[in-house]
Homo-oligomer: A and B are copies of this chain.
Amino acid sequence: MSHFLKIHIQEIVSLSEDEFETVQALFIKKKFRKRQFLVQENQPVNEIFLIEKGFVKSSIIDSSGKEHILQFASSNWWISDFAGFFKQENSSLAIDCIEEAEVYSISFENMNLLCSQMPKMEHFFRIKSNFGYVALQQRILSLMSKTARERYEDFVKQYPGFTEHIPKQLIASYLGVSRETLSRLY
């Protein structure tokens, strides 16, 4: 039985052993190597992923061929192409592994099953979604109101572990500036 998964969920709801068994049975543990895709562009998005170890990113290639990074994820973060997942459409994002990762995945069907059969888990996912929403709102404000340098400093402060595992050019892309600009900031 997965200690990690249990701890993660119990940050928000408390489950009995039986309940937790039911939950756990709907997750699949997977491992990914560096550069391996968790979700490929233009493919169905069957699952969302909870990262136990490692580093993963979601990104999109724009019309001019530039990569834009939407999210980094490490331990205890959820990641997927949520648009594709929730709407059950093909992915417009690519999710791939920056550093060898171990993850728990849950399918769309199993997530719905879980939510309909266990109100606590619907509650769990609602709370997660709410906080995710708030985090994105912060990021929009940051993109609109702060300079590249301020955004970088905020990033380093907010995610201290990330800078050691993620190349600066990817961080630049996440912050919405070119790698050259980020390099010149210091």
Give the interface of A toward B (CB within 8 A): 60, 62, 66, 68, 70, 82-83, 86-87, 115-116, 119, 122-123, 125-126, 129-134, 136-141, 143-145, 176
Contacts and interface: CB of A to CB of B under 8 A. Distances in A.
A112 to B, nearest CB: 10
A174 B36 CA distance: 37
B83 A143 contact: no
- Copies per assembly: 2
A145 B143 CA distance: 12
A145 B82 contact: no
Contacts of A87: 134
Given A143-B140, A143-B176, A123 B115 contact: yes
Q: Which among A123, A137, A138 has the highest number of chain B CB atoms within 10 Å? A: A137
Contacts of A119: 119, 122
Given A138-B83, A140-B139, A144-B68, A122 B133 contact: no
